[in-house]
Structure 1
Amino acid sequence: MIKPLTKTQLVAEMSERLDTDKKSAAAMLDALSAIVLEQVAAGGAVTIPDVGKISCRDRPERMVRNPATGEQLKKPADRQVKVTVTKRLKDSVNG
């Protein structure tokens, strides 16, 4: 199994592919992260071409069960981050 890329390794790979210095590549990665965080936190969505769509969805109030005691609890409404992977990424992984 291949180890996940660290931020340092990702920045190095980006700087090499973009033919730029690591400082600029790190700034681009930080800017992308900031955009995604702001948009999703505001309830929007961000699509990264050939990777997927990151969005936020509202979940209604619901009943849940405590697995240790079996007690039924009411869980308040909350928000959840959802990532939908593109078909191209799925196909690249599967063959």
Structure 2
Amino acid sequence: MAQKTTTTELIAAIAAATDTTKTEAQTFLDAFKAVTTTALHEGKEVQIASFGTLKPKNRAARMGRNPATGESIQIAASTGVSFTPAKALKDALNL
């Protein structure tokens, strides 16, 4: 199983890479999340050159089953996010 990078580790790495404080890196990360969330909520794609594209993905309502009881349940429509990595990211992962 792959290991996880925590938010704290990510903030420390951003601070080190940009020669800023952890507080400034936290502000940057929070702003990035807010802007990205707003754009996706508005139905827009978020394309980050050499990294990838985040797209809102609508899921229709559907019938499902409760695995514990076998009872049919209605699963509400929802919006998720799909990520398509850019070629540069794929290439970097497959050296």
Does TM-score exceed 0.5, indicating one fold? yes
> Counterpart of 1:37 in structure 2: which amino acid?
T
Aligned counterparts, 1:1-95, within 5 A: 3-60=3-60, 66=65, 77-95=77-95
Calculate the aligned-residue CA RMSD, in Å.
Answer: 2.4
1:49-77 deviation line (CA, Å, top 9, x unaligned): 22211111334566x564965x7x88665
Structure 2 residue runs without a partner (length 5+): none
Separation of aligned partners in 1, 2:4 and 2:80: 24
Structure 1 residue runs without a partner (length 5+): none
Q: Please state how far the C-alpha of 1:85 moved relative to its aligned partner.
A: 0.8
Q: Please state how far the C-alpha of 1:80 moved relative to its aligned partner.
A: 3.1
Separation of aligned partners in 2, 1:7 and 1:19: 18
SS in 2 for 1:83: strand
Aligned length: 93
> Counterpart of 1:94 in structure 2: which amino acid?
N
Shift of the 92–75 alpha-carbon distance from structure 1 to 2, 3 Å rule, reads same
CA contact (8 A) 2:64 2:75 kept: no
Range that drifts further, 1-10 or 46-55: 1-10
Shift of the 26–78 alpha-carbon distance from structure 1 to 2, 3 Å rule, reads closer
Separation of aligned partners in 2, 1:81 and 1:29: 18
TM-score by length of 1: 0.76
